[in-house]
Each structure stands twice: as structure tokens, then as C-alpha cells.
């Protein structure tokens, strides 16, 4: 009996210590958000989603016109986290080896004559990778990047080279000037956790941007979180509790995006060519967990799933020709789906 | 960490919510069953079936209430998980209570479980006191109360009106409208019309012609001993197959009445008997002179007696009318009317030849002022008919018929009259009502 009590007490103490450390990391995360916000005016949704994706170890596809602060945000994020940052500007002549790395013959130290082949890591070997204008690279290069994103490793000459942890790719693409680009295939877009639409800043935000950027001093950020602390948070995200009805809601929400499913609303049946798959449901739950943790909760709720539904599912839903002709937006469809999908809070509402 | 507090909160909320659910379902079921039961009761009463009254409605409504209670108790009760989800949704806890319940149930084995429970305890302090969701319960209660009230009102009002719209008395309302001016003052004492010996013999031995003739003679002779022997003889013989048990039971009752002879003595006075004998002798002489008319109207002596009695009292204002082809019966004086109700029976039973075997036909003449108009033609169908005790046939039919129809319906309803005769009774009163409604209204005043 006393052993059991002792075990319980020890477990309680361990748990309390873990929770205390976790709460401190969450506090740091809030400071990180504030720090990025001090550099980038507005774009709070983009910052929150980028941090959420970072906690999920998910990759982000940023879509927006040039000059909205995408690159600055990623660089600020890397500086704040004291993470290794690299930027790859995608061009049509970019080769896969330019990203992943290549085998070179290098002279070993203490041996003047002997040459040895070794793997020279590419720019993808960083914690935060900004793949700028990813749709301008050839499909071969895109595939090399996306394969590395998925596998979290690069294989060269039969040797596997794991990527550093944490690892996150933030790819950008320009919705304009689509000529000469290679749009990402649906199968590859599906590997991004979020697709964030970077919006134009408002008037107040624009004024703030002007004041911050055209002066003599530019805002500087310091490191607020180490990589280990980020890894701890990433592990904690996986521990966040998801009640069964939340998981069921996420599953129903995913199925509701598929036109052939019973849960699909008429608009989905009419305008959607195909909907989100299992990766969509995984993204919903994982992002919901991360969002709950960033808010200091250790359990996900339906509201979390609803909040991350648009960035997690919008790039997994393909509009058919009728929808394109009528200008149907995926976000409006998702909004309609969420409004019509019952939460089923209780078995019998009273 | 105090899990007990969490369970206390969940238990209290669960108890309250389940009470609301049970109450809501009970009210809903009661509100549905009350009008349905009322409709059923009214329908049954309209159809004239027995056993439909306010207690029946109360019973059915109570059954519905119990059914709702059972559904609420057994089928729709919430568990703790549902209550936790309701609390989360109600107070915007972002599933904190639900998650804490999951953690507590699994023994807080997860690394974050303690944090979840602590947060649930923090937020649960905000949900005191709980604002119970009583709107649906109130709505159902108000609906149920309204429906029950309407049902009670319908049960109170509609059955009293029902007789005017039922098949039994469809035209009775028309009659009532026209009959108020025709109503005579009714005698306070019950008055009965006498039966002729022929009628009594027909009633007793309608399917035994020989016994019928013998019984008629025995009645006219006042020989009760012979009549009893004939009755015993008839009782031994099996009844024809087409006579149902109701007819047999009715006749057995009549047998009982006749066993002591009191009925005969009440129906036929000593003075009338002497007149009967004279008429019978005259008829026998006439029938011997005209053999082709023999047996066609054996009730003629009784009707001639009635005519004679009427003529013997010129101041009574009740003058018979003879149209040549039909003999007419008229009610005798009140002092001659006593005893039980009048049975009339036609030997033309269903299945027999109605055209060749003429039945006994009676025409009752109303006496309103100077006009005389036949208002009732009875015994066309060949069944027992019961003219209500205390109702003088000389009273205008319009004044008697609604009450008679109501009494017959009540008799059918309480099974004092056979249910098999319900259709016939309704059609009978319907025909009477139509015949009265088709006649021109009386223009004369009351006598």
C-alpha cells in the first residue's frame, strides 16, 4: 500500500514537474509570438499558423503576392528560435542536388594523396527552410524537396542522411505570373500541413510597416527559445488529449469535403472534384492539438478543429470545372460545411 | 486534485438534466395522448360503442403519460459523458470537463492528465449555479396543458352535441327546430298503449302459427292457464336458426313477464276484453262470408276496439282517421294506459317474404289543433320496437323523436339494448326524422 502511495506521489511529482516545464515553454511560445509581431505588422493569422505548424512539425505553403512579409516572417521565426535557417530561391534550372546536396570527392585531412567521396549537404539541411517560389522549379526538383519533407531525410548513394530536428519547410508561391511555372501536383500539395493565404495588410498595419521599415533602425529580435525546448513542445503536442467526439467531428468534417459522401452538402456535391483524404483528418487533429497547447490547454476541442479547418483543408480540396467557372472559393465552401455540420454535443439536445 | 468534486458536479448536473428530460418526455407524451384519447372516446361514443367515458380518456391519457415517463427514464437518460459535454457546450469550457472525465476514468495515467483535471476544476467553479435548460420543458408543459384542456373541453361539449350529428339522430336537430310549437303538454304519469290479443300472440308465437292462433284465443278468453301451457310447449321447441340470441333473449324475458299473467291483465282491461270478443265474433262471421281475406289482418279487432273507444269519448279531441286501405290505431285515454312499455312485433322477419306476409301496421296521428296528420309508420322492418315508457304516441312525433333517439342511443351505449340492432335503430330513427322533416310544418297553434 505504501509502495503504491509512494509510486503515486512520485508520479504526481514527475507530472507536476513536467507540467511546470511545459507551461514555461508555452510562455516562451507566447513571447515568440509577440516578438515576431514586433517585427511584422499584422499578419497575426499567418504567424499563429506558422507557429502551430512548427509545433506539429508540419510544412507550410504560403501563398501571396510578393512583399507581404513572408520571407521576413520566416527569418524572424528562425532568429527567435535560434534555429538554422536557409533560403532556396527556386528557379527552373534548379536541380535536385542543389537542394538536397551532392557527392563530392574531397581530400581527407592528414592524407595528401587520398581522396574520398563524401556527401555535401544542401541547403535543405537546416531547421527552417524557406523554399521561395517553389512553383518555379521543375517538377523533378520539386519532387526532391517534397520527398525530403516527407521522409525527413535525404538519401545519397544509398546512404541515408537525416535532416536536423526540428525541420520545417515554408514554401511560398506567387498566385500571379503563373506563366512559366510548374504548379505543384495535388499529391505533393497534400504533404503540406497548412496552406496559408497571406493577405494584404490593413491601413493601420501598413502604417506600422512603414514606420518600422523606412527608419534608421530596423527591429532586431533575440532568441527566446532553444531547439530543445521546441522539441519538447513538439512532443507535448502529441500528448494532448483529443476527446472522442472531437476526433469524430474531424472525421466527419473531412468526409464532408468529399462529394460522394453522405455528409457532403449540396455545394460540395456540385462544385468539388475531390475532397480531403486521411492526411486532411490527421492535419485537423494535429493542428487542433497544437492550437490547444498554444492556448495553454492540454485537450483539443471542436473549436480548435474548426479554427484550423481552412488552412489544413483548403489545399486538399479541388474545385471542378463548374466551380471554377462560377468562381467558387474553397474557403467559402469550407465555411458552409462547418456551419452545416452538426457538432452533436449531446445525444439529445434539450 | 479532487476528483470527488468533479463527480459531484457531474452527478448534480446529470440528475437535473435527466429530470428535465423525463419531465419533457412525459409532458410531450401527455400532450399527444390527451387529444388522441379524446378523439378516440368521441369516436367511440359517436359510433355508439360502450365503455367510452371520461374515465376512459383519463386512463388513456395516463397511459400516455406513463409511456412518456418510461421513455424518459429508460431510453433517453444521459450518462456522465453526455452531461460533461453538455456542461462544456453550455458554459464554453472547450471540452475541459469532458477531457477531465476521460482522464479521471483512465486514472490520470497520461503526462498531461493532471493539467487537464486542474483546468477542469478551475473552470467548473464558474458553472455554479447551473442555469437549467428549462425552456423546452416549459414549452412542452404549456402545450400539454393546452391540449389537455382542449381535450377536456371537447369531451365535455362534443358528446352533448354528438347526438345531433351522429347517424342516430342526424335529422333530429331539424326536427327540434320545428317541433317546439307542436309540443303538447305531456301527462305526468306514464301511459302505455295496450296490446291487442293478436299482437301478444304474435309476439309469443310468431313462428308457430297454430300456437299463435291458440294463444290469441286464450288471451281473448282470459285463460292464463292455457296460455302458460302454450308457452311451456313453445319453450320446448327449438328456435329457428335465423333468430339470433337477442331475439330469443327478448322473448324469454317476455315469457317471464307473461308467466305471472300480470302483463296481460295490465294491458287488457276487463271492459276491453268484452269488446274484443264481440269484434272477434263479428270478424269470424265476416271472414266466413269473405274467405279470401282470412288471415290477412288479424289485428283488426284490436284496431276496431281502439276506434270504438275513441268514439265513445267525443270530448277527448282524439279523432281517428280512416283512409280506407289502412286501419289506424289511436291511443286510448290515459286511464286506460298503464303498465310496462309497449312491444310491437312484425312477423315479417328478415329472410322471410315481406311482400306477401304483411305485417302489422300502425299509424299514429298527432293531435295538434284541428289538423291530423300521420307522423309515424312503424313496423316496416319486422323487429321488436320499444316505445318509450311515459311517451304518449299522440304527442307530436317531433317532440318525442329526439328524446327517443337519445334514449335508444343511450340504451345501445349501456348495452341495455343489443348492439346488433345499432344500425337498424339509427336507420329507423333516421327514416322517421326524414319523414317528419319532409312533411309541411304545422301552421295551427296548440290545442
**Are the beta carbons of B5 and B119 closer than 8 angstroms?**
no
d(CA B213, CA A107): 150
pLDDT-wise least confident of B13-17, B27-31, B103-107, B282-286: B282-286
- The mean of the pLDDT values for chain B is 64
pLDDT of residue B392: 47
The three cell numbers locating residue B27: 409532458
pLDDT in tens, B205-220: 766 778 888 888 887 7
DSSP conformational letter for A198: P
Q: Does B130 touch chain A (CB under 8 A)?
A: no
> From the list B20, B21, B112, which residue is nearest A241 (CB)?
B112
Q: Which residue has the cell 483543408?
A: A313
3-class DSSP state of B367? strand
d(CA B61, CA B150): 13
For residue B173, what are the CA distances in angstroms to A192, A328, B45? 85, 70, 18
Indicate which of B1, B84, B94, B118 best probes the interface with A, i.e. most A CBs within 10 Å of its own CB: B94
- Min Cα distance A186 → chain B (Å) is 34
d(CA A95, CA A180): 17
Maximum alpha-carbon separation in chain B:
126
- Min Cα distance B9 → chain A (Å) is 17
Query: φ, ψ for residue A87 (rounded to 5)?
Result: -125, 135
For the cut 70, the answer to whether the pLDDT of residue A16 exceeds it is yes
Q: Which residues from A are below 8 Å from B when comparing CB atoms?
A: 12, 15-16, 18-19, 22, 236, 239-241, 243, 245-246, 292, 297-304, 343, 345-348, 350
d(CA A5, CA A14): 14
Q: Which residue has the cell 531525410?
A: A153
Whats the size of chain B, residue-wise? 447
State the pairing for strand pair A128-132/A168-173.
parallel
For the cut 90, the answer to whether the pLDDT of residue A217 exceeds it is no
Among residues A185, A166, A173, A214, the alpha carbon closest in space to that of A54 is found at: A166
Q: How confident is the model at residue B434 (pLDDT cuts 50, 70, 90)?
A: confident
Nearest chain A residue to B16 by CA distance is A350
> From the list A297, A303, A347, which residue is nearest B119 (CB)?
A297
A contacts of B111 (beta carbons < 8 Å): 15, 18, 236, 239
Do residue A348 and residue B76 have CB atoms under 8 angstroms apart? yes
For the cut 90, the answer to whether the pLDDT of residue A255 exceeds it is yes
Complex ipTM value: 0.77
Indicate which of A10, A232, A240, A241 best probes the interface with B, i.e. most B CBs within 10 Å of its own CB: A241
pLDDT of residue A305: 93
Q: Does B10 touch chain A (CB under 8 A)?
A: no
The residue among B65 and B190 whose pLDDT is bigger is: B65
Amino acid at each position: 500500500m505504501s509502495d503504491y502511495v509512494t509510486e503515486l506521489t512520485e508520479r504526481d511529482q514527475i507530472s507536476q514537474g513536467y507540467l511546470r516545464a511545459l507551461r514555461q515553454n508555452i510562455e516562451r511560445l507566447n513571447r515568440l509570438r509577440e516578438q515576431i509581431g514586433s517585427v511584422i505588422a499584422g499578419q497575426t493569422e499567418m504567424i499563429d499558423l506558422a507557429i502551430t505548424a512548427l509545433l506539429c512539425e508540419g510544412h507550410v505553403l504560403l501563398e501571396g503576392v510578393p512583399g507581404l512579409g513572408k520571407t521576413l516572417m520566416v527569418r524572424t521565426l528562425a532568429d527567435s528560435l535560434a534555429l538554422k535557417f536557409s533560403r532556396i530561391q527556386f528557379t527552373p534550372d534548379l536541380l535536385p542536388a542543389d537542394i538536397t546536396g551532392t557527392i563530392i570527392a574531397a581530400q581527407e585531412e592528414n592524407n595528401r594523396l587520398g581522396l574520398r567521396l563524401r556527401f555535401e549537404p544542401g541547403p535543405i539541411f537546416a531547421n527552417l527552410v524557406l523554399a521561395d517560389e517553389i512553383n518555379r522549379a521543375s517538377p523533378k526538383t520539386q519532387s526532391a524537396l517534397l520527398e525530403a519533407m516527407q521522409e525527413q531525410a535525404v538519401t545519397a548513394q544509398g546512404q541515408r542522411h537525416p535532416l536536423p530536428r526540428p525541420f520545417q519547410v515554408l514554401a511560398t508561391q506567387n498566385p500571379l505570373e503563373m506563366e512559366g511555372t510548374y504548379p505543384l501536383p495535388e499529391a505533393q500539395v497534400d504533404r503540406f500541413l497548412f496552406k496559408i493565404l497571406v493577405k494584404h495588410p490593413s491601413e493601420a498595419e501598413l502604417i506600422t510597416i512603414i514606420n518600422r521599415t523606412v527608419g534608421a533602425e530596423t527591429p532586431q529580435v533575440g532568441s527566446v527559445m532553444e531547439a530543445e525546448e521546441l522539441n519538447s513542445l513538439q512532443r507535448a503536442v502529441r500528448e494532448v488529449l483529443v476527446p472522442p467526439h472531437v476526433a469524430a467531428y474531424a472525421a466527419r468534417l473531412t468526409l464532408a469535403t468529399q462529394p460522394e459522401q453522405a455528409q457532403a452538402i449540396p455545394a460540395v456535391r456540385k462544385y468539388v472534384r475531390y475532397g480531403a483524404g486521411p492526411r486532411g483528418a490527421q492535419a485537423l487533429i494535429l493542428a487542433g492539438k497544437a492550437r490547444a497547447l498554444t492556448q495553454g490547454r492540454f485537450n483539443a476541442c471542436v473549436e480548435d478543429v474548426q479554427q484550423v479547418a481552412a488552412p489544413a483543408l483548403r489545399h486538399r480540396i479541388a474545385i471542378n470545372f463548374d466551380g471554377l467557372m462560377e468562381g467558387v472559393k474553397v474557403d467559402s465552401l469550407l465555411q458552409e460545411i462547418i456551419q452545416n455540420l452538426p457538432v452533436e454535443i449531446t445525444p439529445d439536445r434539450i | 486534485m479532487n476528483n470527488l468534486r468533479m463527480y459531484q458536479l457531474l452527478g448534480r448536473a446529470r440528475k437535473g438534466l435527466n429530470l428535465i428530460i423525463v419531465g419533457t418526455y412525459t409532458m410531450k407524451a401527455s400532450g399527444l395522448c390527451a387529444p388522441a384519447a379524446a378523439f378516440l372516446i368521441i369516436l367511440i361514443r359517436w359510433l355508439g360503442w360502450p365503455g367510452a367515458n371520461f374515465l376512459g380518456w383519463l386512463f388513456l391519457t395516463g397511459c400516455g403519460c406513463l409511456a412518456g415517463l418510461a421513455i424518459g427514464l429508460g431510453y433517453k437518460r444521459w450518462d456522465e459523458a453526455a452531461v460533461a459535454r453538455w456542461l462544456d457546450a453550455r458554459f464554453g469550457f472547450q471540452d475541459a470537463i469532458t477531457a477531465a472525465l476521460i482522464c479521471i476514468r483512465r486514472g490520470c495515467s497520461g503526462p498531461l492528465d493532471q493539467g487537464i483535471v486542474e483546468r477542469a476544476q478551475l473552470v467548473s467553479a464558474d458553472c455554479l449555479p447551473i442555469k437549467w435548460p428549462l425552456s423546452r420543458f416549459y414549452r412542452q408543459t404549456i402545450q400539454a396543458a393546452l391540449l389537455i384542456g382542449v381535450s377536456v373541453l371537447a369531451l365535455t361539449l362534443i358528446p352533448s352535441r354528438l347526438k345531433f350529428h351522429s347517424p342516430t339522430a342526424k335529422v333530429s336537430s331539424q326536427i327540434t327546430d320545428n317541433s317546439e310549437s307542436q309540443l303538447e303538454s305531456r301527462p305526468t304519469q306514464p301511459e302505455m298503449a295496450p296490446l291487442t290479443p293478436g299482437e301478444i300472440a304474435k309476439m309469443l308465437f310468431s313462428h308457430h302459427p297454430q300456437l299463435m292462433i291458440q294463444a290469441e284465443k286464450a288471451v281473448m278468453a282470459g285463460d292464463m292457464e292455457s296460455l302458460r301451457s302454450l308457452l311451456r310447449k313453445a319453450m320446448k321447441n327449438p328456435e329457428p336458426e335465423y333468430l339470433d340470441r337477442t331475439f330469443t333473449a327478448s322473448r324469454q324475458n317476455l315469457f317471464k313477464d307473461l308467466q305471472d299473467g300480470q302483463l296481460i291483465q295490465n294491458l287488457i282491461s276487463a271492459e276491453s276484453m268484452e269488446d274484443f270478443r264481440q269484434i272477434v265474433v263479428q270478424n269470424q262471421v265476416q271472414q266466413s262470408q269473405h274467405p279470401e281475406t282470412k288471415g290477412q289482418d288479424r289485428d283488426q279487432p284490436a284496431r276496431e276496439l281502439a276506434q270504438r273507444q275513441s268514439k265513445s269519448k267525443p270530448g277527448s279531441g282524439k279523432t281517428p282517421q280512416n283512409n280506407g286501405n289502412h286501419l289506424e290505431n289511436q291511443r286510448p285515454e290515459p286511464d286506460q294506459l298503464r303498465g310496462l312499455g309497449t312491444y310491437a312485433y312484425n312477423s315479417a322477419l328478415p329472410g322471410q317474404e315481406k311482400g306477401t306476409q304483411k305485417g302489422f301496421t300502425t299509424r299514429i296521428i298527432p293531435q295538434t289543433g284541428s289538423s291530423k296528420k300521420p307522423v309515424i309508420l312503424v313496423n316496416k322492418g319486422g323487429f321488436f320496437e320499444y316505445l318509450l315508457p311515459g311517451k304518449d304516441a299522440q304527442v307530436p312525433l317531433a317532440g318525442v323523436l329526439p328524446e327517443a333517439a337519445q334514449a335508444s342511443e343511450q340504451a345501445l351505449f349501456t348495452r341495455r339494448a343489443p348492439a346488433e340492432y345499432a344500425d337498424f335503430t339509427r336507420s329507423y330513427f333516421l327514416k322517421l326524422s326524414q319523414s317528419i322533416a319532409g312533411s309541411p310544418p304545422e301552421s295551427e297553434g296548440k290545442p
